[in-house]
Amino acid sequence: MARATLTQSGGGVQPHLSFAGLVRQFPDGVRALDDVSFDVPKGQFCVVLGRSGSGKTTLLRSVNGLTELDGGTVRLNDTEMARGTLRAIRRRVAMVHQQFNLVERASVAANVLSGAVAEVSGWRVHLGWYPETLRARACAALHRVGLDEIHLNRRAAALSGGQQQRVGIARALLLNPEVILADEPVASLDPAISREILTLLRDVARERGATVLCSLHQTDLAREFADRIVGMRSGRVVFDGPSARFDAAAEAALYENTPAVVSPKAPATLERSYGCTPL
């Protein structure tokens, strides 16, 4: 698929992904998203930065409908996120997860191929008989993320954390997504591996012209890799600009210790939205 050339934020480009007035409120009154609005142009590597609980994950999950919104709209190009468009949007948006979310017992190849189950015909999925072209694409994706043929039939659990995240990225790339959501993709990896993974993520996204929305909590990594940083705190956007403008004052606004919301009931309510029922 042909993609528009890489663009930086602003500059009158048509937004690829746009958030308008997002609100997500948990039943106990905690607002994970509190009137969040911004646009992401095509091809941008946009980092959502913030502490734990600032609403980054909720924001990312609102794009593919893993979290239901209480208000506001999410648009991908001109498609508005709704019950009817959910499946279609999910096929165009891939996700890379903090804990890789691989089937640990299954082989690396099976994990990568599982990225295409939404596109492959049902009988092929159920017999595990994926078409030749798709298998070739899976190999190409694995090669691109830096894995070798010897890894194909190895169990995912046998790989190191960095390698597992590479498999996760290969799985995400299999359907040539327009948008890659990366939810704390390096939070469980050490700093050196984190840089490798983020470099890989940035490079593969550039090659394909894919837009990346990546949540992070490390400011140094955000400064190094982001085209643009969106800083979040308590569900609100408190900083938005190119990474060069993210200075000490902005960092303090994001991380400075002030009394914050405490919600003892929140984990249980969040758990509920973890189920895999669509919307």
The 3-class secondary structure across the chain, one letter per residue, is CCCCCCCCCCCCCCEEEEEEEEEEECCCCCEEEEEEEEEEECCCEEEEECCCCCCHHHHHHHHCCCCCCCEEEEEECCEECCCCCHHHHHHHEEEECCCCCCCCCCEHHHHHHHHHCCCCCHHHHHHCCCCHHHHHHHHHHHHHCCCCHHHCCCEHHHCCHHHHHHHHHHHHHCCCCCEEEEECCCCCCCHHHHHHHHHHHHHHHHHHCCEEEEEECCHHHHHHHCCEEEEEECCEEEEEEEHHHCCHHHHHHHHCCCCCCCCCCHHHHHHHHCCCCCC
Interactions with other proteins, residue window 211-240 (CB under 8 A): 234
Among 25, 73, 85, 98, binds other proteins (CB under 8 A): 98
Cβ 242 to other proteins shortest distance, Å:
27
Q: Please report whether residue 5 would count as binding other proteins according to CB under 8 A.
A: no
d(CA 167, CA 187) in angstroms, rounded, equals: 16
Q: Please report whether residue 51 would count as binding other proteins according to CB under 8 A.
A: yes
Question: Which of these, 225, 226, 216, 224, lies nearest to 254 by C-alpha position?
Answer: 216
* Span near other proteins by CB under 8 A; candidates 72-80, 108-116, 202-210, 241-249: 108-116
Cβ 267 to other proteins shortest distance, Å:
5
Which residues neighbour 273 within 8 Å (Cβ) at sequence distance 6 or greater?
Answer: 61, 66, 67, 68
Cβ 105 to other proteins shortest distance, Å:
5
Among 84, 133, 192, 257, binds other proteins (CB under 8 A): 257
Among 53, 162, 185, 231, binds other proteins (CB under 8 A): 53
Q: Please report whether residue 90 would count as binding other proteins according to CB under 8 A.
A: yes
Give the relative orientation of helices 191-208 and 161-173 as an angle to the nearest 10 degrees.
10
Q: Please report whether residue 20 would count as binding other proteins according to CB under 8 A.
A: no
Per-residue mark of binding to other proteins, 60-89 (x: CB under 8 A): ----x-x--------------------xxx
Instruction: Rank residues 22 and 173 by Cβ distance to other proteins and give the closer one.
Output: 173
Among 43, 115, 185, 231, binds other proteins (CB under 8 A): 115
Among 11, 84, 122, 248, binds other proteins (CB under 8 A): 122
Cβ 260 to other proteins shortest distance, Å:
4
* Span near other proteins by CB under 8 A; candidates 135-143, 146-154, 202-210, 263-271: 263-271
Summarize as ranges the residues that interact with other proteins (CB under 8 A): 30, 51-54, 57, 64, 66, 87-91, 93-95, 97-106, 110-111, 114-115, 117-118, 122, 125-126, 128, 168, 171-172, 175, 181, 183, 234, 257, 259-263, 266-267, 270-271, 274-278
